[in-house]
A and B are shown apart, each in its own frame.
Chain A
Amino acid sequence: MTTPTPGLSRRRFLALTGAAAGGAFAVGCSPASSTNTPAAAAGTSSSAKGAVTVMSQSGEFGPKEAKAASQALGLTVKTVEYDLTKLTAMLASGNPPDVVRGMGATDTAYLAAREVAVDLDPYFAKSTLIKADDIDPVNDLWRFDGQKQGAGPRYGFAKDYSQDAMLWYNSALFDAAKVPHPNSAEPLSFDELLDLGRRLTKRQGAKVSAYGLNANGLSLFVTLCGMTASAGGKVLADDLASVDLTSPEALRAITWYLDYAKAGIGPTVLNPDPNGWDGPTFQAGRMAIATDGYWFGGLFGGDAKNAKLAHLLPAPQFGTGTRISPCYGATGLWMPKAGKNKDAAWAVMEWFLAGDPAKARAAGGWGIPPLKSLQKLMPQTQPFQKEAYQVQQAEQKYFSVMTFTPYVRLDAIDAIVGRELPKAIKGTTSAAQFADTLTTQINAQLADGKKRLR
C-alpha cells in the first residue's frame, strides 16, 4: 500500500522525529537556567506563615523534623532530600527550596559571589534565639565580603561543627592486632599514623577484611590543603584565584597520601569503601582508624557495643611546629535569594539552629554546637563521651579554618583530583607530576570561573 504524499513519508517522518526526540531528549534534559536576576524582591512575604521547603539530608532534617517544625511554628514545612544535582536544577530554574543544607567552609564564597544566597544579617539582628555574643566564631565561615571568607555579611549558619582532621579509633581492632592504644593527649605524626594503618589492616589472602585507616576525610582536596598547612605551607593563593600544589609542603602532603593509597590499607578511589562513608564500616568493626571529627561520636551514643570501643584522637601533624586542627565543613543552612517565603524560612532556620532540635543535637554529641550557650549540653554521661569531650576541649586550642575560593565548587576540584589520582597511585605518574597536573588543571578551572564572574 502506498500513499501519494510527496516528500516525507510517514515512516521517514516517524523515524526522523524519533531520532530527533532521542537527540533532543539529551539536549532537553539540560535544566533551565536562571540567567535572570534572582527574584529577591524585598517584602515578598513579611509574615512567618505559609509553606517552607527544606532541602537537607533525611537524617538531619527529615519528615520527622518537618512535622515538629510545623507543630512548633504553625507553618507547613516540607522536606526534599539533599542532592546537588537537584539543587542546581532548582536554583537554575528560579524555583529553589526555601532553606538548603550547605557546608559553610566551602560553599559560602561560591554562593555569595554568585548572589544566590540571602544576606542574613537583618534576620540575625532581630533574632530572639541567636544573640551576637553567643555565636561561636566558627560561624564566620559562613561570612564573605567579596574578597575573603570570615568577614562581611552572614550567608548561613552552622548547625554544628567539628575539627574534621581528628581521628576515631576502634580499640578492639588495636587489641586484636596487639598494637598499643595511642595517647589521646598528644597528636600522632603522619608517619606514625601510616605505620599504625599498616599494622592494623586485616587481610584475608589478598583481600582486605578490615581497613587499618581511612585518611580521606570530607574531601581529598581539603584534606590535602589541611595537611599542607600542617607542613607549614598553603595551597590556595591569597587572592583565592590560584592554587599551588607543587610547593615542598604540598608535595610532602601528596607523597604521604600516595604512600597511604599504595599501601592498600584503606579506601581510595581505586578501592572505594562499598558503604560510601565511614559510619557503617567503623561500626561493623571493619575500620580501625577513621578521619572524622567529634560529630562521629553521635553514632555511638545509642550503640552500646561501639561506645565501649570508640575513642577520639587529636588531628595528626607533620611536626613542623605548626599544630593545626581545621574545620572543613561547618555544615549548616542557608536561604536562596529566589526563595518565596523568606520570613517563614528564617523562622524554620532559627528553630532548627537554635531551638529544641539544636539542643537535642548538642546533647546527642552530633558535633559542637554553633552557639556557645549550647556547648554545655555536650554529652559526658558515657565514658567514651567523657573522654571524647576532654580530647575535644584540648583540641579546641588548635582550631583553624581554611578559606575557600569563590570561583569553583569543591566538587569540580575533587573531580579533577579523582580523575588524576589513579595514575599517581598506580605509579604511572610521579607525585611531582601529579602535583603539577593538579595545579595546572585546577588553575584553569579557577581562571574560567573567575572570567565568568566578571
Chain B
Amino acid sequence: MSSTLTEVRRPAAATVTAADRRRKPLRKARTFYLFVAPWLLGFIGLTVFPLGYAFWLSLTDSDGLSPRTHFVGFENYVEIFHDPLTLSSLAKTGLFALVTVPLSILAGLLLAVMLNQPIRGRGLLRALIYLPAVVPPVGAALTFRLIFDRDAGAANGILSGLGANPITWLVDPNVRYVLYALVLWGCGGAMIISLAGLQDIPRELLEAAQVDGASYWQSFTRIIVPLLSPVILFQVINGVIASLQSFAPLLLSSGSLSGAGTVPQGNYLYMIHVFAQYFSASRFGYASAMLWMLFAAILLVTLVIIKVSARTVFYTVEPEGKK
C-alpha cells in the first residue's frame, strides 16, 4: 500500500520540479525587470524621449526661438567633422579624461591605502579628505578662482612671500593645471570607493601571503589590486563619462553657466563648446548634433573599456550571466 502511494506520488513530485525549473528563470527575470521598472520608466520618459527630440532637433537649423525652422538632414553632423573648434575641443576633452581619470583614481587609491592603516585619527583624516567631494562644484570653482586670482589670490601671495613673480593662473596655459587641481581636489570620492573595496578584501589572503614571505608591494600588486579591479573598473567608467561631460572649466572661468564664451581656450572642452552653441550662438540644431556625437563617443568608449576589462578585471564572485 505504502509502495503504491509512493509510486503515485513520485511522478507528481517530478512534474512539479520540472515546471519549477522552467519557471524559475522566468520568475527571476520578471522580478528583476519589476525592480528596475521605475528606473526604466524614468529613463524612457526623461531620457529616451528627450534623446529622440534632440535627434530631431539635430536634423534642423533650429535656433530654439524662431518659428522658422528648416530640416537640414545630416548637415549638422557633417559640419562637426569640419569645424576646427569642435574637433579641437574634442581633442582637449580626450586629453582631460586621459589625465584626470587615472590621476583621480590613483590619488584616491593611494589615500585609501594610507587611511586603511591603523593610524591615530584616521576617522578624522578620512572625513577631512572626503569633505571637498561634498562641496558643491560651483562653490569649489569659486574658491579656486579666489585662490588663483593673479593680484589678490592666496597662491600668488605665497609665491610673493617666497620672492617669486606672480603667475596669471586663470588664463592659458596655466588655467589647465588649475582645472586639474580642481578635479583632483575632489578625489575624496574615489578614496571612499577604494576604501570600501579595500575593506572587502579577506584578511586571510593577506595574512597567508605574509606567511609565505610576500612583501607589501607583492601583496599590493598580486592581491589587493586584482581584488580591487572591479571597483577600479567602476571608477574608470564613471570617471570617463563624467570627464567627457565636464562643465568644471565653465564654473572655474565664470562661476555661472552663462559664460561659455569666457572660457580660456586651454579649457575649452567639448561640453563648453556645446553650451556656447546652444546659449551664445543659439544653434540648437548643431549643438544637438554635437550631443548625439558625444553620446555615440561615450557608448563606444564604454564598450571598449568593458571589452578590455574582460581580461584584466578579477571577480571573486562570478558575475551573473557568465558560465
Contacts and interface: CB of A to CB of B under 8 A. Distances in A.
A270 B284 contact: no
B17 interface: no
A110 B256 CA distance: 23
A178 interface: no
Interface stretch (B176-184, B189-197, B216-224, B289-297): B289-297
Determine which residue in A19, A91, A269 has the highest number of CB atoms from chain B within 10 A of its CB, and name it: A19
Interface stretch (B47-55, B105-113, B116-124, B125-133): B47-55
Contacts of B67: 34-38, 115
Contacts of A21: 43, 47
Interface in B23-54: 25, 28-29, 32, 43, 46-48, 50-51, 53-54
Contact of A271 (B150, B165, B255): B150
Interface in A410-427: 411-412, 414-416, 418-419, 422
B162 to A, nearest CB: 12
A26 B298 contact: yes
A25 B258 CA distance: 19
B320 A1 contact: yes
B288 to A, nearest CB: 5
A217 B79 CA distance: 35
Interface residues of B, number: 86
Interface string A346-364: 0000000000000000000
Contact of B302 (A15, A31, A409, A454): A15
Nearest to A425: B171
B68 interface: yes
Given A27-B292, A35-B60, A17 B43 contact: yes
A84 interface: yes
Interface residues on A, range: 35 or more
Most buried by A among B63, B168, B238, B296: B63
Interface stretch (B2-10, B198-206, B207-215, B273-281): B273-281
Nearest to A204: B160
A4 B320 CA distance: 9
Contact of B241 (A23, A409, A448): A23
Given A5-B25, A26-B294, A445 B281 contact: yes
Given A30-B288, A452-B61, A11 B320 contact: yes
Contacts of B283: 448
Given A9-B322, A17-B43, A91-B64, A25 B281 contact: no
Contacts of B66: 113-116, 452-453
A274 interface: yes
B137 interface: no
Given A28-B51, A33-B284, A91 B321 contact: no
A451 B170 CA distance: 37
A18 B298 CA distance: 11
Contacts of B287: 30
B321 A3 contact: yes
Given A26-B294, A274-B152, A415 B261 contact: yes
Contacts of B64: 31, 33-34, 88, 91-92
Given A22-B238, A26-B298, A83-B258, 8 more contacts: A9-B319, A22-B298, A23-B299, A27-B50, A274-B153, A415-B281, A422-B264, A449-B282
In the A-B complex, list the 8 residue pairs whose CB atoms are closest, starting with the nearest. Answer: A9-B321, A415-B261, A19-B302, A23-B295, A23-B298, A22-B241, A92-B64, A28-B50
27 contacts: A3-B25, A10-B321, A12-B321, A17-B43, A19-B241, A19-B303, A22-B238, A26-B295, A26-B298, A33-B69, A34-B65, A35-B60, A36-B67, A85-B257, A88-B64, A88-B279, A92-B64, A92-B65, A114-B63, A205-B165, A206-B166, A207-B156, A208-B150, A271-B171, A422-B171, A448-B283, A449-B282
